[in-house]
Amino acid sequence: MINISNLHFSYGPQKVFSGLSLQLQAGHIYGLLGKNGTGKSTLLRTMAGLLFPQKGKIDVLGFNPGKRSPDFLQQVFILPEEFQLPDISLEQLLKYHSVFYPGFNRKQFEKYITEFEIPAISTLQQMSYGQKKKVLISFCLACNTSLVLMDEPTNGLDILSKSQFRKVIAGALDENRCIVISTHQVKDLESLIDRITILDEGQILFDETIEVIARKLLFKISFDQEDLKDAIYTESSLRGHALIAVNNTSDESKLDLEMLYKAVILHREKINSVFKA
């Protein structure tokens, strides 16, 4: 679905990507993780054809995104972190914008709006930031595009809304759709994504499926000093030492995405050596 090869991009003298390559397939929810300013938003905008690389090749759904052909645009929806909305009703939003997306489903949109508890009588400018974000998420998913790109979608959502978001996203995935979620709030996506891509300083440090991570790594709490000696990464907690170790026994453990992210950033070579073995 998406094939990025030898991507180079910079803002003037500031380099963002120098030879980045990545492949994404349909039927998956990808978590694009990284600190602010590492190129996550730039990568999404490049996929959507909003930014143009200086070098390299990007193929999205068989199209060159930079040409922004109508057939391409109606298959892609990008939900930005920052947005400006006009003072219109939900009905007007659908009237003016849904026509650009052949797959738009009004009943689906109304279902999401109900699940997010959005008051239908309000105009967009009468809503809070979180409500506006949920309206855009609902519209985005109801457009039924093949590719969904979301930049920090949980920013501005309260705890219950984040739970609703995970439920709605999980229900929206099918074998023909690819969803890419960019965030630095890793805990929000822990139970949702099935592949993790970690970006730092314009490079991909880590790219693996949840299934492979669970098979290769063990996440646990321990008071045993021997466990700490063999650990790839450790941090103290009130319950003992949280650690990541090589999973030599095929035991199942609960993924701690925040710990994994820190381990990749701080001990990249150790983590990658486990997956190359």
Run of H or E including 233: strand 233-237
**Residue 43 pLDDT:** 95
Closest Cα partner for 74 from 48, 52, 92? 48
CA–CA dist 149, 60 (Å, integer)? 12
Please indicate, yes or no, whether the overall pTM of this predicted structure exceeds 0.75: yes
**Residue 253 pLDDT:** 86
Q: Residues 66-125: pLDDT tens digits?
A: 999 999 999 999 999 888 888 899 999 999 999 999 999 999 999 999 999 888 777 888
CA–CA dist 59, 65 (Å, integer)? 7
**Residue 192 pLDDT:** 87
**Residue 13 pLDDT:** 87
CA–CA dist 221, 219 (Å, integer)? 7
Give the whole-number percent of the chain exceeding pLDDT 90.
56
What's the CATH number of domain 2-201, 3.50.50.60, 3.40.50.300, 3.20.20.70, 2.40.100.10?
3.40.50.300
User: Would you report the helix, strand and coil content of the chain in percent, each value rounded to 5?
Assistant: 35, 30, 35
Q: Tokens for 165, please give them.
A: 């978001």
Q: Write out residues in the chain with pLDDT < 70, as ranges.
A: 277
One-character DSSP codes across 248-272: SS-------HHHHHHHHHH-HHHHH
**Residue 38 pLDDT:** 82
- Where helices occur in 104-234 by DSSP H, the ranges are 106-115, 129-142, 159-172, 210-216, 225-230
Q: In sequence order, what are the beta bridge partners of 79?
A: 150
| Domain layout of the chain by residue ranges | 2-201, 211-276
